A and B are shown apart, each in its own frame.
Chain A
Amino acid sequence: MSQVVVESPQQLAGRHRKGRAFEWACLLATSLGVLVLVVLLVGVCVQAWGWLDGDFVSNYDSRHPREAGILAGIWGSFWLIGMTALFSVPIGVGAAVYLEEYAGQNWLTRLIQVNLANLAGVPSIVYGILGLTVFVRMFGAFPDGKVVLVSLGVATLKVPIPFGRTVLSGALTLTLLILPVVIVAAQEALRAVPGSIRNASVALGASRWQTIRLQVLPAAAPGILTGIILALSRAIGETAPLVMIGALTYVAFTPGGIESPVDVVRDPQGVVDAPFDTFTALPIQIFNWVSRPKAEYQHVAAAGILVLLIVLLILNGTAILIRHKYRKGIRW
């Protein structure tokens, strides 16, 4: 060939140098994420040092930084996430079961899937506005507001209509927020169950629901559980929708007046009242402390962040444990 491509050793060495520089740049970028995480965690720990103690966990918020505590936030988040789980698990798993086990390949199914993907990308604050209008205010349909009483023998359920700025409204809003996450995770877990199991069950005369209930769901349970835990850990950190709902920022009580696990047994009315009480949550309190001008509140905020991160660590650690344990056990 007349135009022979001749590359001198210098040119070749230059190419290799460029390649090595590029590799280093990419490595640097990758390490940036690790570095930031380390700096963040160390910074939070340093700021919280000496401020995170038993008093912090058992006190309410206070005008004096040294006396401020996160009790209201812990209990508020507890009730909030508990109720969110109560709503989102059956609805999310039910929707996933429908999409994976029952639905045909038609336009409606495709629409639902596309819709789920879009919902996942909607900013959380828009969910907050939705919750505000639908649950808290119920479109303004009950201008005077009333309370529906339901007797449970041991205690009386007092349901406010509209739901107002209660744990219930917050839980319903968060349910809608994490529903796409739960559904997608559950779908993947269901999809991982091999079709041979379903076929075998049906061949033995089981109905579709029996197959799902007795074979598919138990097999997919670890994956579904992991997905739920991860979705709930996302919900714990959500702040914006709760602000819209009206979660209070300076709060010196817990929902239902339940202040310790013992109260749950001793005060059943409190347990029944809790979902319909106004509330605060861990991230809301943190947000509030960060926003206060007094410099000491930065330390209080750091202590609150540490509590939040510990809770998340426990939750995510559990999810990973479940994932590992059952991954070893599965033998198709």
Chain B
Amino acid sequence: MRIARYECAHANNKFMNKKNKKLALTGGAAAAEALKQIEIDVMPIYPITPQTTIIETYAGFEANGEVETEMIKVESEHSAMSAAIGASSAGARTATATSSQGLALMHEVLYIASGFRLPIMMLVSARALASPINIHGDHSDVMGCRDSGWIQLFCENGQEVYDKTIIGMKLAEKVKLPIMVIMDGFNTSHSVENLEILETKVVQEFVGEFEAISPLLDTENPVTYGAVALQNSYFEFRIDQEEAMKSAEEEYEKIAKDFEKISGRKYDIFEEYRLEDAEKIMVLTGSAAGTAKVIVDKLRENGEKVGILKIGLFRPFPHKKIAESLKNAKEIIVLDRAQSIGTYPPFYSEITKSLYEAKEIKKIKSYVYGLGGRDIFQKQIEDVFAGKIEGGYIK
């Protein structure tokens, strides 16, 4: 149903370029397609389900001579990120992809990538964390590194993955921070959708050439990466990183606006779906947002004032704008696809913080759904809107 809506939007799109292709791709292949068009110089990879659709598609491009990328088929995710850090520091446009345990294994070096201010692109096919081991989708892995200094951008479907990989690459290189473009494991990474691919020339002009600052390969001007910074300087480095991250919100808006000009597709920091007079607003992200939109359409037909706020940019978190968007709501329902064991789930924490800072007191409910790939059905979302499932778990 969501796909049908997209088709319709494209047909009416005045920007629709005849040279744009329509392709049936998985979310993973859509990401690979975007990376191919962007022209990645170096791509260290290590396989993990459900990220494999991304790297296998890209390896296919390599095998057929469609890309000039140096792929490095490393022996672990830790080495994938370590090699990405080396390549990006050297001056190469660098991308990788991972999921779950792989992202957790990278954890140590994620902070080094962001500390070095390297614009590394990482596609994450978000998946549950062990134990118990589970290969299916949820957001535990990406939530586990939400403080690692990476920009985090969530996608609802394959088209968004393609588009946000392009937007994200430009954003990362603009603010000099690494970025995770996040799709739901299996739900998005393995689902085939009909999506629109821009002309490669248009993508390349949009993203532009990568110009590294002080790359290692500029041997005439040697630099030291990874110095020791102690009590007298470490703090300042951290403050700089925070400032850079803050600037990503505004830069994202500018870049997304420019992207709309070339694609006709609009990606605000978060998506406001039928919020104009909404009294009950559901906050969520990822593929479940597509299902929730169907219910909102249905409830709207019955005259219910409901809407969706779909999180896109999660790091930096747009507290002020979200509070503004939610200010007329009478009830807010927050759906997280991850726990934060021992405290409130991540989205719920951020939303309550946003409202508190804006001095808005709202009725707000917190739900956790979809852990370990558990499906969420239209009926359940309808029941949540109707207050039939009290706060807690949507199982």
A and B co-occur in one complex:
no
Which A residues form the contact surface with B (CB < 8 A)?
none
Which B residues form the contact surface with A (CB < 8 A)?
none
